[in-house]
Structures are given as C-alpha cells and as structure tokens.
Structure 1
C-alpha cells in the first residue's frame, strides 16, 4: 500500500523502506542474486527427477482421500492416480521446465564485458575462481554418493531465471 510519504511492499513486509549502508545494499542484492540464480536452479532443475515418477507427486487424484486409517490398498491407490493423459501433461510440463537452454549462460559467465575498470575485472576473476573451487568440491563429494547432487553446483546454475 502506498501513501504520499512512503511505499510499503505488501508482499515483503520485512523489506526496508530504504537502504542506508553499504552492508544493507550488499545483503539485499545478495538475496536478489541468490533467488534469481542458485535458489531457482535448485528448485527448478530437479523437478523432473522428482515429479517424473507420478506416485511421488501426482498432478491429480481421481478418488477422494481415505477417511480412516487402514482403508488404503494397492487397488485404491492405482484407481486414485491420474490417468495416462493427465500424467503425460504433467510429465511434459516438468520435463520442459527442467531443461537447460542450448545457449545457457552459467553463473560467472558474462560474454559481453561491460566493465573496463581493473578492480571490477579482478573481482570477476576472483568470483570465477571461487565458483570453480565450489564446483570442484561438489564434484568431489558427488564421487562418493550413489546419486550425485549437482543442483547447486555453480557450473549448473544459470546466471538468471529464463523461462
């Protein structure tokens, strides 16, 4: 709701009306960058891995939920799950949402160098080096796992949300 002297974001009541310090700016920019890159990648690109098996999260249910414990059997479960058509639509949707674009730009990749100042160029180099270190740590940890977890690996995180 906005008034003459201030505007409050109704969906984000904890967001300050103004940023006063450099630390506040860094904090809120970090939140925006994380949300539009790493958090989105972690939530988005694993959808097919989970929803691709319809019983994990059926898109619809054809039977009402049981009212008492012990009423459920395999026949009732199978009659409850969505039909092939609904399942196909759900699978197609999460498959499409879980794909990377052919020309995807990943975290730290800036094909157009807009900065000419040396301190900024050095900061980008440092950032890329840290991203490589994190990627290598994740790859190393994944070698010990039966199924790797790479949704938060910097080399699998696009620069931004692109749907």
Structure 2
C-alpha cells in the first residue's frame, strides 16, 4: 500500500499502479465497504451505534439485563438504521463499472480497450454469479454489475 504520493512518477508502470489504486478505491473498495452496511448493521446488536453503559471490567459479570441496558435506545437505533439504509442504496440512475453514457473518447484503441474491459467485467460477473449459486449467503459486493463507477453520496 502507498504511504506517500511521490512528487512525480518516473515510469508508465508507476502511473498505471497509482491510477489502478485510485480507480479501485473509488469504485470496488468503496462498493465492498459501503453497500453491505445495511445487510450487516440492520441487526443493532451486530453493530450498535452507541452503548449506554461502560464495557465490563471483569469476565462473567454481564447478563442479558446488562446487555439490553447497554444497547442504544429505540430512537438512536432508528437513526442508525436510517443512516446505514440511506448510505447503502444505489443512486436512481447509478452508472456501474464499464457504463459510460457519453463518448469522451473516440479513438479506436480506446474504444477497443473499453470493449475488452466490458467483456472482462461481464466474465467476472458471471463467475461471481455462478459461485453465489452454491452459497447460503451470496456475496455480491464485488460483483462488477454492482460496483458504481465512482463514489456518490
């Protein structure tokens, strides 16, 4: 992982590496972290937004009453659920990886590269779809057809 951005890039490979990190971070990594929030946080004990009591200082002293008194109240829980629900939704007209509504590039090599990219995304999507068929809880967060082109909040 990069700790510091260099003052300048010396090679084409460095440029590719840095652009790859930027694109991955703003698309796939964000999708993987963001869009599963509601799926995992909707059950408040899984990820309480606040705790109303301090953590225990000794093992074995916590009972169900202490746990229930520690968890956030209904108001805070509702706020938390609303926030993660809103953050984990796609935009109405979301553009996913490989979807480009405007023709920014008209050069043939770029058009061909875009076609190749879309073909690879389609292949990865099908692999993930196939793997998910055998899972009790499918994992879709890194499927290209569910990764937006960018971060949009």
| TM-score over 0.5 (shorter chain) | yes
Superposition pairs for residues 66-145 of structure 1, below 5 Å?
66-145=56-135
Pair 150,13 (structure 1): closer, same or farther in 2 beyond 3 Å = closer
Write the distance in 2 (CA, Å) between the matches of 1:92 and 1:19. 43
Q: When the two structures are superposed, what TM-score results if normalisation uses the length of structure 2?
A: 0.97
**RMSD (Å), alpha carbons:** 0.8
Tell me which residue corresponds to 1:3. none
The equivalent of 1:8 in structure 2 is none
Deviation of 1:64 (Å): 1.2
User: What is the match of residue 54 of structure 1?
Assistant: 44
Q: Partner of 1:6 in structure 2?
A: none
Aligned length: 152
Q: Aligned partners of 1:132 and 1:113: how far apart in 2?
A: 20
1:26: Cα distance to partner? Answer: 0.2
Q: 2:24 and 2:13 mapped to 1: Cα distance?
A: 16
- Residue matched to 2:25: 35
CA shift, 1:15, in A, is: 1.9
TM-score normalised per structure 1: 0.91
Shift of 1:62: 0.9
Structure 1 window deviating more from structure 2 (130-139 vs 111-120): it is 111-120
Q: Bigger relative contact order, structure 1 or 2, given CA contacts below 8 A and separation 6+?
A: 2
Structure 2: segments with no counterpart, 5+ residues = none
Within the candidate set 16, 35, 43, 1:26 is matched to 16
Q: What residue number does 1:17 align with?
A: 7
Other structure's SS at 2:97 match: coil
